Structure 1
Amino acid sequence: ARSKLDVGFDVFINRLGDAVSVSSFLAGLVKAPVFAMIIALVGCFQGFRVGGSADSVGRQTTLSVVQSIFLVIVADALFSVVFNWLDI
């Protein structure tokens, strides 16, 4: 923040509390590990399905990325529904 916007660390921290609510911060702390777990599980699952060729590695890597993106979007939508229902 200092190099691009000429904002000191203390000003940045003070304004961060005004810009980001505690509930949003905590929601991010809950969602991030879930997203990481989804990505790791999909990557491991697709990695175990790799055959004996380099072509198979590329195919499974692409499939892993596509599935991870899709599942993270679905999980984020579910989080939105649950957080909305809980009025968070």
Structure 2
Amino acid sequence: VLGGMVMAYFLLDVSFRDFALRIPEAVSVTSLLIGVGKAPVFAALIALVGCYQGFHVSGGADSVGRQTTVSVVQAIFLVIVADAVFSVLFGMLGI
């Protein structure tokens, strides 16, 4: 929300006050809490994949680059899958 406020101020000439007054109309509390709740799950997935792939580095810098690429691809994939799972679960719950 803070990032959106800053971008709206600089790019769209929307004052901080106007943004703060309009945000409750545009974003429900439920949506905000869902976003705040999903973020730590995504962060944990990214950190776990990065650590797991980091433990598989062997040899030199070439291996570091290869494992970094693998970890980025795996992390992106897992975040997309986790977001899909969240969407299905929240849909089943009617949220």
Q: TM-score, normalised by structure 2?
A: 0.89
The 2-side partners of 1:61 and 1:3 are apart by: 35
Unaligned runs of 5+ in 1: none
**Aligned residue in 1 for 2:14:** 7
User: What is the RMSD computed on CA atoms of the aligned residues?
Assistant: 0.8
- Deviation of 1:10 (Å): 1.0
Deviations 1:41-88 (A, max 9, x none): 000000011002111001100000000000000000000000001111
Structure 1 runs (4+) deviating above 4 angstroms are none
Asked which structure has the greater RCO (Cα within 8 Å, sep 6+), the reply is 1
List alignment gaps of at least 5 residues for structure 2. Answer: 1-7
Query: Which residue among 14, 36, 43 is the counterpart of 2:43?
Result: 36
Number of paired residues? 88
Mapped partners of 1:56, 1:45: distance in 2: 14
